[in-house]
Structure 1
Amino acid sequence: MVVTWPYPKFIAHRGAGTSAPENTLAAFQLGYDAGFRMFECDAKLSADGVVFLLHDATLDRTTNARGMAHTYKWDQLKELDAGSWHSKEYAGIGLATLEQLAHFCIQRNCQLNIEIKPSPGFDFITGERVAQEARRLWSGQSVPPLLTSFKRESLRGALQSAPELVRGLLMHELASDWREAVGSLQCQVVACHFPIYNHALIEQIRYLGLGSLAYTVNDADTATSLLSIGVDSIVTDNLAYAT
């Protein structure tokens, strides 16, 4: 149960939305400079078990390499160019590990939403490893990171390895068994695609003692409407929401 919501109202999507190469330290720095104090990132495993930041299952879209990300060891991944695809300004920017981002956030007193984004077939072990790393990296911090995932097995892995961390079930559409799912996975947060939310759903979420998060909201009217019905936090690409 989330007794008091410890996170800011606005969370920068993948560091700085679309304004910098997503999930890189450059993006988180830009988001921080814009005024954000909480970020969202995507985490998966390298071939040798390092937790690093990447949204896609493949490297094709956001790096100068090709193929499934989980087939590369971290020593290979850290040499890749993860910035040129975005713009010349960021050419040569590398991928980041969760450990690097944890140090960034802790040093600046920022919060983090880690989306567990497993490569195909690695749902449970990715949840397990991400939660283990989060517990280790944020040990002693007053506000732990929020772990979310669309993959229930990833949340199950996180629950098994670090039950004390805050977990949230991500849903693009409202699942008919969402109440049972958040109960069995001991989630404290419901994280939904923003059109799902209405007064009735927020009332149900609050009745269950859960927090609510909406993604990905980039216009002011929608953000205002969601906050007015009681959504706790909003993930956004819009850097203007930092101030």
Structure 2
Amino acid sequence: MNPVTALPDWPFPRWIAHRGAGKLAPENTLAAFRLGASHGYRAFECDVKLSADDVPFLLHDGTLDRTTNARGRAANRPWSELSRLDAGGWHSRQYAGEPLTSLQALANFLRRNHHWLDLEIKPTKGDEERTGRLVAAEVQRLWAGDPLPPLLSSFRPEALLGARQAAPELARALLVDTHWPNWVSMAQQLGCVAAITNYHLMDATLLQHLHSCGLRALVYTVNDPAPVQQLLAMGIDGIITDAVDQFAPA
């Protein structure tokens, strides 16, 4: 029988606001982070990718179509163009004119307010490892000296490999939407401290297995009370939610 691996220290909050407060305000914008913070959240999740001139900025999709007033592949535009787009009008008139957020602007907000971040690396297809390297290097620079720098997460192992090469001291987590062969072993090989799964995948057996492998267990995106209660009873380490107005973080 293999020995149980010790769990890493876990100073991070259990409750994490998804994309800021990405349903009540335009996702991945500073407006969403401010709204999440107004509901008492001190930990946030968001998505980061690279502009054409390698500026890390917040966006979930590969294209600008859904969440800005522009169209086309986000990675084709320099930050000087992206920074002038409207990333709020699609959500509601209240947020019209809200700009896209650079990672630097987000770091300024989070560090000033002593908030924590799960930063999901969203690479453009074919640019996974390089994106991981550049994002990790920028996180290392922006959070220099911070006692609780971001957790770097990704669905793409290549992005986490790049992050490890650039900044091995930064904590990493593998994101998992469906079970695929040997993903727990992959997380261990990448030196991850956590796995973040679709909450439908998580049960007590998987949670115990992750803990026995030395991995913290987090889940996304949980918006209903019933699964929240089940997950809390299991001893889940982190819950990512859109419902910042329903669940009071403790």
Name the TM tier (shorter chain).
over 0.9
Q: Does 1:36 align with 2:41?
A: yes
- Identity of matched residues, %: 49
CA distance in 2, matches of 1:50, 1:84: 23
Structure 2 unaligned segments of length 5 or more: list them.
Answer: 1-5
- 1:60 is paired with a residue whose SS is coil
Q: 1:229 aligns with which of 226, 230, 234?
A: 234
TM-score of the superposition, structure 1-length normalised? 0.98
Q: Give the TM-score taking structure 2 as reference length.
A: 0.95
Q: Which residue of 2 aligns with 1:10?
A: 15
> Cα distance, 1:180 vs. partner?
2.0
Post-superposition offset of 1:158: 0.3
Contact 2:123–2:131, Cα closer than 8 Å, also in 1: yes
| Partner Cα separation in structure 2 for residue 83 and residue 179 of structure 1 | 38
Q: For residues 152 and 165 of structure 1, what CA distance do their matches in structure 2 show?
A: 15
Q: Deviations over 1:135-178 (max 9, x none)?
A: 11111111120111001110110011001011000000122211
Q: Which of 17, 20, 27 is equivalent to 1:22?
A: 27
1:231 CA displacement: 1.2
**Aligned residue number for residue 134 of structure 2:** 129
Report the counterpart of residue 56 of structure 1 in structure 2: 61
Aligned residues: 243
Checking the alignment, whether the CA contact within 8 Å between 2:22 and 2:28 is kept in structure 1 is no
State the alpha-carbon separation in 2 of the partners of residues 5 and 87 from structure 1: 37
SS of 1:213's equivalent?
A: strand
SS at match of 1:76: helix
Residue number in structure 2 paired with 1:204:
209
Q: In structure 1, how many angstroms separate the alpha carbons of the residues matched to 2:233 and 2:113?
A: 29
1:160 aligns with 2:185: no
Q: Determine if contact 1:114/1:147 at 8 Å carries over to the other structure.
A: yes
Listed as ranges, the gaps of 5+ residues in structure 1 are none
1:92 paired residue among 81, 93, 97: 97
On the 8 A contact 2:7/2:211 being kept in 1, the answer is: no
Shift of 1:179: 2.4
Q: CA RMSD in A?
A: 1.0
Q: Is the 8 A contact 1:17 1:236 kept in 2?
A: no
Correspondence list, 1:65-214, <5 A: 65-214=70-219
Return the alpha-carbon distance in structure 1 between the equivalents of residues 172 and 7 of structure 2: 10
